Structure 1
Amino acid sequence: MSKKPADLGTLLALTKTTQTLLTRYQSSLSPASTSPPPTTGDIPNPLDVIKATTTLLKSHTTTLSLLLLTPPLTPSAIISKLSDVSAGPLSGMVAAASCTTVEGQKGDIGDTMRTEVRAQVRRLLGSWSEVLACVVGMAERRQKEGKNGDDGVTQSEAEKQQVLSATGVVWEACDALIKLCDDGVVGLVVRKAQEYRAVLLDAVEELKEWGEDVEDEDEGGVEGSSDEDEIFGASNKLGKDDKELKALLDTSVKKLKMVGMLYQALIKRRLKTYPASSIAESTAAATNGTATASPSRILDDLMVRLKSIPEMVDDVAGAFYDLDEEEARRTLGKCYSEAKCVAELVRYNWSNADDEFTAWSGKWVSALDTM
């Protein structure tokens, strides 16, 4: 006696169970989630695992999409594909993304990459839940019509468009995650540092332009001025008598441009040379010369500081726009101090030896201090 084919009720039950699983996976990868305890012993590179599982998930999604688009809807085939996805790429991907290794251990990708991986995996899981929503919608429609799914009911145009749209979003998320894995830690930190530098220099350029727009004595209180002029005009312009603030601004613009030069040097001499493929064998000295830290720990610290500097420059700009010289000097001091800490943090290379950047950074700090 042949086994009765799986029906729409079974398909709906499995799909909704899978949706619940995805929600739990997404929650486990959220920034607020408590990370699992460090894993001991050698483990495969999590980026390799994530790339392989993502590639497989994209393939399974393509097959599932074809099953949904080609009539008749066959519950048994879709159930088999959903089971393959849950037991294979989804569980493997989430396990690799959730992994937290001992600092410096083989497979340690560092907090910067780990945070990015988890964010992109969560995005992919969210997009895959949209595919499941298509399955639920199509199955419920046929169930409502009293069909078992394989009785020749044609997919509607709206259903087809939903499937194609959801599949396209999954493909895009898969491609982005695969590229992240291919680029690796170095590719990610270089891209982020370049973005931080661009934000920094944009803020400096806006500050420079603001300083060049000096208020004339006759500008204030012009009859017929618009509300926009009142908000963005003379009230926050430098006056001709604000000579000390103007001098501070001019010096600040030059110094902040030097900070932008530091980013360039760091990208070339430290980020692009990061030993991501041999973390377990590499060691580096911490800045105080008495303790040691793994390259991944130093890199994570470096990236946090590189991100913080443009944020400080925003505060600097706010103080100048408020014509608050005291606050401008205070925030500038914090900004310069952080930049010098960055230079000192990676003064030596990843093998704890002098190189071109070591000498250059010393000269850079001296120039910053004497400007």
Structure 2
Amino acid sequence: MAAKSSTADTARDGLRFISGALAGIAFLALLWTSVDMAAVGALLARASWPPLLPALLAYAFDFLLRAWRFRMLLDPKGQRVPLRPSVAPFVASFGISDILPFRLGDVFRVYWFHRRFALPMGHVLGAMVVERVLDLVSILMVAGLALSLVDSAVPDEILTQIRLVTVLAIAASLFVLLSPRAIEAAAGWSERRFALPLVVRLADAARSLAQAVRGTGDPLRVLGMVLLSFALWLLESLVMLGAWVSLGGALPDWSKPLVAFAFSTLGTLVPALPGHFGSYEFFGMLSYRAVGVAAEPATAIILLAHVMLWLPTALFAVGWLMTTRREAPLLALRAQ
């Protein structure tokens, strides 16, 4: 029975990878056929490098704070997980996922923190789930802020609907983070009302999320984590701003790259190639077009920003894995 389950999981992972790869290739093909890539290349060749240095420094500081946040999610009292030895594997986990399929960086992170600090795997996984919900609500908040500031070419009716959906999504995410008891009650009600296998699985997932949120601390502490996460995404958005200024964008128009950053990041929820190549570029270009930026400059800015976001973590992961002497967690996990 276990062998059948393992085979089914492998097939499901393979199908997910293939669908993501096809979607990413399709997005890149759409971009390639709808934009003058020669003009994009010429713009990138003229990029000014000084604005990129502070953007990369902000990105490095962003990851340091993200590592601290994850450590606080794992160990609210700061007694079991010291910060210093946890930063490098935390950053490396992102680089692994940016290079390899199947979100192997997440597998690496769960196993590494479990092995290094003797934490239950379920505890590490629960902290990662809360981290993802925090990131979702925070990037939605960034999107809401950007939409409130920018003058868009999108019709007012459509823009109003986008803002409404954004507000509702933020409210739902905050409800999940601040009301674990309500989530458990809703899960129990759903199971009793709809006796379907899918509903049961969703209810179990909701209970696991509620338990992970409860382990994070009281609602006031969770709200502080939300505000910290919002600040982290604003800090990361400076990479897009740096690319914008580097390629000739005016600094007073900073709300335009903020819109593109928010919606290109949300676009990574759509399956794509490892590193989110395809979806990030496509939705970023559409976002820039919506705020009145021409297709070629928009594509050049998105490509430059994406390389700046992808390359440092990917190189760090490769370098750290090659120079750190220990048993490779990914190989050890596959052997179990």
Q: In which range does the TM-score fall when normalised by the shorter chain?
A: under 0.3
Larger radius of gyration, structure 1 or 2? 1
TM-score of the two chains, using structure 2 as the length reference: 0.25
> Could you say which structure has the higher helix fraction?
2
Q: Greater relative contact order (Cα 8 A, min sep 6): structure 1 or 2?
A: 2
